[in-house]
Structure 1
Amino acid sequence: MGRPTIIDVAKAAGVSKSTVSLVLQNSPTVAAQTREDVRRAMAELGYVYNRAAANLRSSQVGLIGLVINDLRNPFFTEFATSVQMALSEAGFAAVIANTDEDPRLQQRAIAGMVEHGVSALIISPAYGDDEAFGLLERAGVPALQVLRKVSERTDLFPFSVPDYGHGSQLATQHLIDQGARRIAFVGGVEGRSVTQERMSGYLSTMQAAGLAPHVILGRPTRAFGRAQMGDFDAALCFNDLVALGMLSGLTHRGVKVGQDFRLVGFDDIEESAQSLPGLTTVHCDIEGFGRRSAEAVLAWLNDGTKPPPETRTPVTLVVRGSSRAG
């Protein structure tokens, strides 16, 4: 069961949500017996009053923390920008921190945000950091995990992500349909859940087609992608940065991408459409995903509508010149 809300208290006490709010504000207009009933329901449910969130609801101004693991990556920058703009349009402010994949830095950033009264957090977490989520649980601050799941406590910290598995399935099937048979999956740090998710559709589709998988894992950077060579006729990359690096390296070696070699990325960052040839990629609608993440947290704060434990949003394949001739 998730953290009890003001609506839960109202139902347990047999009163309206507004009556509970008046009790929390110590209003003298509430009868003594009603006040006692509400406080008893709060105690039985273990309800903790989040004053910062209450102030946010009443004034429609306040702070929401946005913690991002790597703002140098355009994918995360586009997401953070979308969230910040959606919050701003709704009259809220975002406090943004880049943790640079450092758990200790993430802990300090979250502790500072909680200390300064953020009403909720949206967090794309660094791996290897359980303490940050323990801190959030103790503080009673609503927090939405996005893009990568680190805490398995999705009852407390709901998780939202594009459907990576379906995306890699679409991409792999496209390469097979284009005539590719020796298809590699390139990039992604071994052992991370996001790598497994982005690879899952590739593995299942290759197996269904009776083709042998070729997995080349490593840091998801341009430099890693540029350095890759192999006896393959196609590649699905962990992200667009790896794919753009491969595109550069292959072109430098005289390989005609789209004809001699077929290449697909993942994310559809802005640069993907501007490369030559244009990069075929899995479109995650990161702008829409950011906006919906902001809306989910605001609904959680404003009316107690907690997001479901896991949400996977649709993805599509955008076909450009890197995976087909012409």
Structure 2
Amino acid sequence: MTRRPTILDVAKAAGVSKSTVSLVLQESDLVREETALAVRDAMSKVGYVYNRAAANLRSAQTGLIGLVINDLRNPFFTELAATMQMRLAERGYATVIGNSDEDPARQAQLVRSMIEHGVAGLVISPSFGDPGPILHQIAAAGIPAMQVLRRIEGSEGKLPFASFDYAAGGAAATRHLLETGARRIAFLGGRPDRPITVERASGYLAEMRAAGLQPCVFHGPITRHEGRAAAETLPDGIDAVLCFNDLVALGLMNGLARHGRMPGRDIRLVGFDGIAECEEVWPALSSVSCDIAGFGDDTAGRLLRWLDGGAAPDAEIRAPVNLIARASSLGME
């Protein structure tokens, strides 16, 4: 179905009248529960999303942009949300921000709710896992929508995707560690079945093999806690670690210090993302810096041009990254 599903489509699929569907949408007590369930099931099947705003206001005139973020507790994603909100506000848009907390069911609920309330456009930094009906809902709503930093499962060719050149970043970090003299370099964090882990580890793996060295990959969650715990299990002889993100690296620094191993002196560390805290810790943490503020501003700009002129962004956009070497990998002075 290429057009947006209507209330008539729902009525036909449920075998009821248009007025009955309207009553269900209004949560009226006049409709029997089994009939209401049949109508809601039909809504899901045809991809109908109830628009609480008047139909003639479903456009940029509503002044609302939806932003669904996978983890607002992570400063990297918080910076993305804040930057986009400010850029959109300059053009008179209010941003509705939802935190899915890495829960695909909550993500689906947020997307549905934002569409129901008439957002003019949508940007999603997806949670991991089965996205449920959101791709169908977005297509049925017919609004400009982008995905950033991660891909929604099954979204290839359906939503524009913008991210960073993670493979180049992993390669640059590994070359840097090799240049410091490190040879037993590990990659720490991320689940092996997730594309973003594959991307971030790919440059590391290529550089290690090019140097004739054996890669050493330790997969796991991407939190400070897991980074700190990894200090307990890191094999003897590892002389450098490239971490999936800065949170893992900061946690690992903490754990190593508890065991008397000083980053930059006893072991070299590099994180990934370039959050502000990397400069503030001691020793300062080296990181593959992703200019998330610039990225957020650029993404907002692309969405605005789409809304204003109808020009959709390219199917895939990759922003460059930059290795910032600090004491944790360069060594202590």
- 2:81 corresponds in structure 1 to 80
State how far apart, in whole Å, the 2-side matches of 1:142 and 1:223 are.
37
Q: Letter of the 1:290 partner, please give it.
A: G
The equivalent of 1:28 in structure 2 is none
1:185 corresponds in structure 2 to 187
Structure 1, residues 11-65: CA drift from partner, whole Å, max 9, x if none?
xxxxxxxxxxxxxxxxxxxxxxxxxxxxxxxxxxxxxxx9556443xxxx60000
Distance 1:55 1:249 in 2: 49
Q: Which residue of structure 1 lines up, in the alignment, with residue 308 of structure 2?
A: 302
Query: Does the aligned pair in 1 maintain the 2:279–2:285 contact within 8 Å?
Result: yes
Q: How many residues align?
A: 275
Q: How far apart, in 1, do the equivalents of 2:79 and 2:139 lie?
A: 28
Percent identity reads: 50
Amino acid at match of 1:120: G
* Structure 2 residue aligned with 1:230: 235
* Residue aligning to 1:105: 106
Q: Whole-Å Cα distance in 1 between the matches of residues 149 and 114 of structure 2?
A: 21
Where structure 2 has 5 or more consecutive residues not aligned to the other structure, the ranges are 4-54
Which residues of 2 match residues 62-73 of structure 1 at below 5 A?
A: 62-73=63-74
Post-superposition CA distance 1:68-115 (Å, at most 9, x none): 011111111111111111111222110000011111111111111001
Aligned to 1:221: 223
Alpha-carbon distance in 2 for matches of 1:199, 1:113: 35
- Pick the aligned partner of 2:262 from 251, 256, 262: 256
Structure 2 match to 1:286:
292
Instruction: Check whether the contact 1:69–1:100 (CA below 8 A) recurs between aligned residues.
Output: yes
Amino acid at match of 1:135: Q
CA distance in 1, matches of 2:210, 2:313: 34
Distance (whole Å) between structure 1 residues aligned to residue 180 and residue 315 of structure 2: 38
Partner Cα separation in structure 2 for residue 157 and residue 151 of structure 1: 11
1:162 to 136, 161, 164: 164
Does 1:145 pair with 2:150?
no
Preserved contact between residue 52 and residue 118 of structure 1 (Cα < 8 Å): no
In structure 2, relative to structure 1, the CA distance for the partners of 1:51 and 1:319 (3 Å cut) is farther
Q: 1:234 to 1:153 in 2, by over 3 A?
A: same
CA apart distance, 1:189: 2.0
Whether the aligned pair in 2 keeps the contact of 1:52 and 1:119 (CA below 8 Å) is: no
* CA deviation vs aligned residue, 1:173-206 (integer Å, no higher than 9, x gap): 0000010000000011231111111111111111
On the 8 A contact 1:167/1:198 being kept in 2, the answer is: yes
Residue 152 of structure 1, CA deviation: 4.2
Q: Structure 1 CA distance, aligned partners of 2:103 and 2:228?
A: 26
SS in 2 for 1:141: coil
Match of 2:112, SS? Answer: helix
**1: CA distance between counterparts of 2:246 and 2:147?**
22
CA distance, structure 2, for counterparts of residue 151 and residue 92 of structure 1: 29
1:106–1:126: 8 Å Cα contact kept in structure 2? yes
Q: Secondary structure at the match of 1:160?
A: strand
**In 1, Cα distance between equivalents of 2:64 and 2:156:** 23
Q: Which runs of 5+ in 1 are unaligned?
A: 4-49
The secondary structure found in structure 2 opposite 1:227 is helix
Kept in 2: contact 1:63–1:92 (CA 8 A): yes
Distance in structure 2 (CA, Å) of the matches to 1:139 and 1:65: 13
Residues 91 and 224 of structure 1, relative CA distance in 2, 3 Å threshold: same
Q: Distance between the aligned counterparts of 2:123 and 2:159, measured in 1?
A: 10
Q: Which shows bigger deviation, 221-230 or 268-277?
A: 221-230
